[in-house]
Structure 1
């Protein structure tokens, strides 16, 4: 933590030359909608779920490799071109030399601000990034200041490549799915609406649109657009040295329709002459919408600097208020660090296990353990919501004491495994019991044990050793009685059923059977004879 300078009591911090540190990224997200990650070079990705990625999906190793991501360029007359995030071929080559730009990263919960100063080009850029609270779009506000002693004429160019499809298409039908892209330039930006989606769900008519919009701080529209990768980077070019920037290539106006290409949200603003110390602001919005016709109206609320600044303050307050626990250890660095630890359960609720560069397990959502472990943390920060979460979570328990393993995006939503793969982890009864016990100890709310909730139902039966061939999707995912009515049992009944089934499900040493694994998912090859000493002791 020596490189981190905390700047307040709410986890906000500062790092000098942040691009020099490997694997550094931050989360940007709303309560719903977009889930993004961002680096000091504006790398990372953005998506709503596994099948709808706005930016190309990345894992941790992509962060230092990929350059086809967010960028904002300045062409400075008689000097050359400069990237506000350091993502140019020249700036990349100057890293770790005396010519490297000075840069500072300031960040907090769900936002970052990158300041970069160039002695050579005599420019300063401050780029603030966040996602709106409702998750409809990612916002990038870039403020450019002329630090020279004389006027400078600049041409601003923004570029965000639009991936616009499922993560599955990274290597499966990558080119074919680009042929499905339908691209249109509008007054303020570029919209991409693929005609079909190709992924494991099958071939489906697509209703999702991806967009990159831009404006000046006063709400003026861009001058020209570069709506495809090919048009922006040019023949033999790259996102580190794009033709549109290198030669000030002319773009296309609003109202142009293209198809069958990799898409880019590239746009050029009108040239502007800045006096010494004069600042100009540019705004770039990027998002995903299921209603293409509403994009124009939706983005109009974020078209000026004043609107963006108001939204930014709301975002900072919203997420700071989420972490309503303070620490006084005598060390302010540790106090602030603990704030970020408290923020982690909030991030997992939003991102699940799949949607941050270091957390790329599975295809989205949380696991059974996550539901309950997050409740443990939220008992401290948001106790008022935990009671209903506990009740809803018990709806994932089956009649044989096992539980659903695919968690939906809505609270209390559990989904049948479409691949019918048997998954039974023997520790899964332990976490609901521990969480509920802590809740009871903290609140004394014994009445929660008498709340009634349904049981989950799918093909799996007899603790993963058999299938119920009478079940089908028409039956639904709630256990029914012989008469066809949905069955409800108390929370206490669910707890007893889960734990007694696990207690009596033992191996030859009278230790609870391992099944697919216990908390250590690597212990997954001893289905027949495996037993878990660790969790037998935990239950004890």
Structure 2
């Protein structure tokens, strides 16, 4: 029987493990849930902070949020409740007023979140969730009178619109000039839009065209007041923690034309002793007002909203039922059997970009998506298959690839990363092993053609077609092109060139001149070529298999000849031919990845393996796991890159990186 863990300082799992319960609003940092249907996503913290987006968190952000708001955890999705007799008011989510509440609780669920609080005899509860297939979120707000006397309440929703590309953060004063927000009586809702897609039309100097997207907040109750203009509602020099209109007791019926836009709907509720009342708010974004009205009409009906919530819960239960473990540790069982799978889905849906820490930079990265697809295979092979086909379509005929893609503007236009050609082969092999679908290797997929030329070394200034298809090839042909490219793209030591970064994006100056080399990338290539040879065997490509194995052996010998430092493996060579990750360096003497990948790839020799393991234990082990390198860089080194400029122990500069530690484990 699994042991029950003691009660935690900030929260604990519910009895059945389907929820994590937080009872303290002041956590060390915001804890965030992702409510999503893969088209629309609501990023929400334990106190209602966060934002929503449609298709891409960079280009189609609906609600306002920027990276500097991480520790403020504002703005967000709030509901203010005011007692119209006493004038006292509170926010159900604690934020943004941060008043002392009589009770506070957040229940983080799979696909939903419930925040409940109580203040002066009124209990408020908000259940947030995203519809299964429509681009909208629903807030179910329930008020209960615990005071024993009749209460006359006024309720105010609150959100702040961004309505487009988050490049607005750099041009805020101009971007808000395109904002329009107004109350639509027919829909009983506020509509909001930017009159053009600011980032694309202005920042990227593309043609100006009318923006078809309409954002909205509607309600199931008759609206008795509204505000669309932020500063009219909050008051001059105020922010969300001191809303003047709530303190005064009424909205102003403001519209917004070319200023900071919000969505405030005002409702009047009378609650008898012991009474309760529920309001349904719907927030979303679609093309055209007619579709917006249809979604508002659908999800403000209580029976439809409740049925949708139950279906959302059922879908996530079904997704996380596959593959279970049973250990003596209850919390570990719960985490693995439910929450780790939930996390895998969220990462597969949106990669890393929507998080509070990545600030919603948009799209999905190539490297991350290869590993995400591989990770979700045991619980959703069909999702993995679709993702692998999408990733394959980002490969050019020369074997380089776009560094990622967005659902709004397609393949990333940035320069290719040198390590990306090594990640897809292991992911495809894992899919074939998991499913037995050998035919997947023969499936035809388009090649990508864009402006990058000569292995991604320069961009054709005369190319104006964007990203287009360049004929088709099989999945295996795409993999082979990648492996051959990296094997032949080598420097003076015969190791793969690092370019402007390999797995470690912050090693961005090592190969800026085109000569720097990566020992780690050589190891990753060896591993992928050996896996690729196994795939070639499966489809009868015996000559290809033999060639891949021969090339893998060649690269492994090169690494052992020039990449060994005496007690561990080097990280690589700079443009000047100097080793880094070497005992000869004062800082950054040893890097973790070349040591772990020497084992993963089979490059390390039998006599060197004990030295590698001892070096890792002796030089990289710390109280928070294994450091990415040691010792940390204390001064900027322009030959290495921005990694040397980060604070010591932060990010790639000797932090205990979650990604690199499992490689070693």
What TM-score, normalized to structure 1?
A: 0.87
The structure with more radius of gyration: 2
Q: Map Cα deviations across residues 341-386 of structure 1 (whole Å, 9 max, x no partner).
A: 222232123323321212336x311111123112211211112343
> 1:401-440, aligned counterparts within 5 Å?
401-409=399-407, 415=411, 417=413, 421-425=414-418, 427-440=419-432
- Over residues 141-180 of structure 1, what are the superposed CA-to-partner deviations in whole Å (9 max), with x where a residue is unaligned? 11111111222222222222223232111230x2333333
1:204 aligns with 2:209: yes
TM-superposed CA distance for 1:182, in Å, is: 2.5
1:176 equivalent in structure 2? 174
Residue 459, structure 1, aligned to residue 451, structure 2 = yes
* Contact kept in structure 2, 1:517 and 1:524, CA below 8 Å: yes
**Aligned mates of 2:157, 2:81 — CA distance in 1:** 9
Q: 1:310 to 1:478 in 2, by over 3 A?
A: same
2:80 corresponds in structure 1 to 73
Q: How many residues align?
A: 505
User: After superposition, what is the alpha-carbon deviation per residue over 1:364-422, rounded to whole angstroms, capped at 9, x for unaligned?
Assistant: 11111123112211211112343444344322221221112241329xx95261xxx53
Superposed CA offset, 1:416-450 (max 9, x none): 61xxx53232x222211111222233333332222
Q: Is the 8 A contact 1:45 1:58 kept in 2?
A: no
TM-superposed CA distance for 1:241, in Å, is 2.1
Alignment partner of 1:515 is 2:511: no
- Give the alignment partner of residue 6 of structure 1, picking from 2, 9, 13: 13
Structure 1 Cα separation of the partners of residues 73 and 341 of structure 2: 31
Gaps of 5+ in 1: 95-99, 480-485
Query: CA offset at residue 16 of structure 1?
Result: 1.2
Q: Is the 8 A contact 2:378 2:434 kept in 1?
A: no
Could you say which residue in structure 2 is the equivalent of 1:306? 303
User: Matched residue of 1:196: which SS?
Assistant: coil
User: Could you tell me whether the CA contact under 8 Å between 2:115 and 2:126 is conserved in 1?
Assistant: yes
User: Aligned-residue CA RMSD in angstroms?
Assistant: 2.5
Matched residue SS, 1:199 = helix
5 Å-filtered alignment, 1:520-531, equals: 520-527=504-511, 528-531=514-517
* Structure 1 segment 67-466 matched on structure 2, within 5 A: 67-76=74-83, 77-78=85-86, 80-87=88-95, 89=97, 91-92=98-99, 94=100, 100-118=101-119, 121-172=120-171, 174-187=172-185, 188-202=188-202, 203-215=208-220, 220-252=221-253, 259-272=257-270, 274-323=271-320, 324-338=322-336, 339-360=338-359, 363-409=361-407, 415=411, 417=413, 421-425=414-418, 427-466=419-458
Number of the residue aligned with 1:25: 32
CA distance in 2, matches of 1:52, 1:388: 23
| Contact 2:70 2:357 (8 Å CA) reproduced | no
Partner of 2:539: none
CA contact (8 A) 2:92 2:126 kept: yes
Give ranges in structure 2 of 5+ residues lacking alignment.
203-207, 527-665
For the residues of structure 2 that align with 1:388 and 1:79, how far apart are their CA atoms?
Answer: 55
| 1:135 shift after superposition | 4.2
Paired residue for 2:521?
A: 535
Q: Distance in 2 between matches of 1:232 and 1:513?
A: 57
| Contact in 2 for aligned 1:348/1:366 (Cα 8 Å) | no
1:18 is paired with a residue whose SS is: coil
Structure 2 Cα separation of the partners of residues 505 and 287 of structure 1 = 47
Deviations 1:264-319 (A, max 9, x none): 211211241x2222111122221112212321121111113332221111111222
Aligned equivalent of 2:468: 477
